[in-house]
Amino acid sequence: MKKFIAFIFREIKNWVVFVFRFSFFTFHLKRMLTFSFSLLVFHFSNAQDLQEYINIALENSPEVQQFDAQYRRISEKKEEVNTLPNTEFGAGYFVSEPETRTGPQKFKLSVKQMIPFFGTISARENYVSSLADASYQDMMVVKRKLMASVAQLYYKLYELKAKQNVLDENIELLKTYEKLALTSVGVGKASAVDVLRLQIRQNELNQQKEVLVETFSGIEKAFNKLLNQDIMTSISVVDSLPIPAEAAKIQPSNLQLHPELVKFDKMYTSVEKSELLNQKEKQPMIGFGLDYVNVAKRTDMDMAENGKDIVMPMISLSIPIFNKKNTSVTKQNKLQQEEILSQKQQRYNTLETVLYRAVSDRNAAMISHKTQLKNLEQAKNAEQILVKSYETGTIDFNDVLDIQELQLKFQTNMITSEVTYYTQSTIINYLIK
């Protein structure tokens, strides 16, 4: 390697480097213009492709359907609680007929309806509605997690596909060097060992590619299962994931609106509604009723209103005098509210930690990407210098292999940085979008 570095410094002194620098500047400027344009176009095409898979997952997911059914079931309970207690009907036959002035009583019919205290039914409806609101937030959390999972697997598929393409490029490059080596062997400028080294390196890259293809197939099946579709469905990914020059600014305050935290607010509200209902239920219930008693006529005498039936309107009160249930429920509700507040704070701290870690990792990915891009450009410069030396004299194929290995390393690191950037962006979006 020291020999190679010394060789590079010697080459820098001649006029070839000047010509190369000019051509590299032109190439670099063209690359930057192309990158700026593709950045604008890609965000639309990438979002469209990924969003299509997300829509399929949301539509097909059994888990989303489960929570949607749960939400609708709880919402339907509003109709269940919007009712009065059952109307009571009674009938009795007097085996031993009691005598009255107007005649003996034969049978008795009665009807009675209890009515809850004013506002109790509305309190029940409000309580059930608050439970439905909390259940809706559960469904929103499930949807967000599903969207994040789809995006993360999608970016993993992109990583594997992009690395396959990089390996293909490097394999083709090694084939070109192999031809140069064979030509050099013919004129005595290289040895057969150089050719074998190039072929061995190709074999290694082919092995890596086969492993990536197999891994891609496995994750593709997992991706299809996540979308709840046929595992043999072919998944297409974008060709590139450009990283913007500056990361979008985030609003940490938006974390308060995350469904996982909003759910605790809804749960707290449901406890408040539960306590209002509890206060209503400890109020007396009013009952209205009517008794009818059939009276037979007296046969031993004739009198006014002989055999006149009895009709008796009734009113009743149900008062929980000795019932300690409502007092206990009030204490339980207060303790549950304290529990919910503690749970919310704990979950907020956890999500905030995840958010700042994701932001940090995303920024680190941007830094890494810039560094790898710079290193790759310098490696390409060294590669072109080696090619120039082949035209004027001998070429050290050990240096060629070193440069090729560095290029592959920088290319794969760039892909890893891109995937890390978008994966962490997915986490950030899950938390604050």
Q: What H or E segment, with its residue span, contains residue 128?
A: helix 120-186
Does residue 161 surpass a pLDDT of 80?
yes
Q: What H or E segment, with its residue span, contains residue 294?
A: strand 285-295
97-106, 242-251, 362-371: least confidently modelled range: 97-106
Across 77-167, where does the E strand assignment appear? 88-93, 99-100, 103-115
Find, among 375, 404, 410, the residue nearest to 4 by Cα.
Answer: 404
Residue 135 and residue 72 in contact, taking contact as beta carbons nearer than 8 Å: no
| Structure confidence at residue 31 as a pLDDT band (50, 70, 90) | very low
pLDDT, position 59: 95
For the chain, the distance separating the N- and C-terminal CA atoms, rounded to the nearest angstrom, is 50
Residue with tokens 């082949």, as numbered in its chain: 390
| Mean pLDDT value of segment 273-279 | 92
Q: Phi and psi (nearest 5°) for 187?
A: -105, 5
Question: Measured between alpha carbons, how far is 220 from 153 in angstroms, rounded to an integer?
Answer: 8
| Mean pLDDT value of segment 90-97 | 87
As to burial, measured by CB atoms within 10 angstroms (0-12 exposed, 13-18 middle, 19+ buried), residue 404 is: buried
70-76, Cβ contacts within 8 angstroms, sequence gap of 24 or more: 70/135, 70/138, 70/139, 71/132, 71/135, 71/136, 71/138, 71/139, 74/128, 74/131, 74/132, 74/135, 75/128, 75/129, 75/132
| Mean pLDDT value of segment 275-293 | 90
pLDDT, position 260: 94
In this structure, the number of other CB atoms found within 10 A of the CB of residue 428 comes to 20
Does residue 10 surpass a pLDDT of 70?
no
pLDDT, position 137: 95
Distance of CA 304 to the CA centre of its chain: 84
Residue 330 and residue 275 in contact, taking contact as beta carbons nearer than 8 Å: yes
Find, among 82, 85, 124, 75, the residue nearest to 277 by Cα.
Answer: 124
CA count, 13 A, side-chain hemisphere, 187: 10
| Mean pLDDT value of segment 47-64 | 88
Question: Measured between alpha carbons, how far is 290 from 421 in angstroms, rounded to an integer?
Answer: 76
Q: Phi and psi (nearest 5°) for 233?
A: -65, 130
pLDDT, position 346: 97
Question: Measured between alpha carbons, how far is 140 from 4 in angstroms, rounded to an integer?
Answer: 59
Measure Cα distances from 247 to 40, 408, 425 in Å.
14, 26, 9
Does residue 253 surpass a pLDDT of 70?
yes
Q: Rounded to two decimals, what is the model's pTM?
A: 0.77
User: Could you tell me which residue, 5 or 176, shows the higher pLDDT?
Assistant: 176
Question: Measured between alpha carbons, how far is 421 from 60 in angstroms, rounded to an integer?
Answer: 28
Amino acid, single-letter form, for residue 31: R
Dig out the tokens for 5 from the structure.
């570095």
16-20, 91-95, 127-131, 429-433: least confidently modelled range: 16-20
Find, among 64, 74, 221, 220, the residue nearest to 144 by Cα.
Answer: 64
Class of domain 2-60+118-156+209-282+325-432: mainly alpha
Residues 357-367 pLDDT 10s: 999 999 999 99
91-95, 224-228, 398-402: least confidently modelled range: 398-402
∠ CA 370-371-376 to the nearest 5 degrees? Answer: 100
pLDDT, position 429: 93
What whole-number percentage of the chain has pLDDT above 70? 88
Q: Phi and psi (nearest 5°) for 235?
A: -110, 130
Find, among 58, 248, 263, the residue nearest to 148 by Cα.
Answer: 58
User: Could you tell me which residue, 9 or 292, shows the higher pLDDT?
Assistant: 292
pLDDT, position 180: 83
Measure Cα distances from 421 to 115, 119, 361, 427 in Å.
63, 55, 7, 10
Beta bridge partners of 310: 293
Beta bridge partners of 105: 295
Indicate the average pLDDT of the chain.
Answer: 84
4-8, 47-51, 386-390: least confidently modelled range: 4-8
Highest average pLDDT, of 11-25, 29-43, 68-82, 314-328, comes from 68-82
Residue 268 and residue 341 in contact, taking contact as beta carbons nearer than 8 Å: yes
Residue 272 and residue 134 in contact, taking contact as beta carbons nearer than 8 Å: no
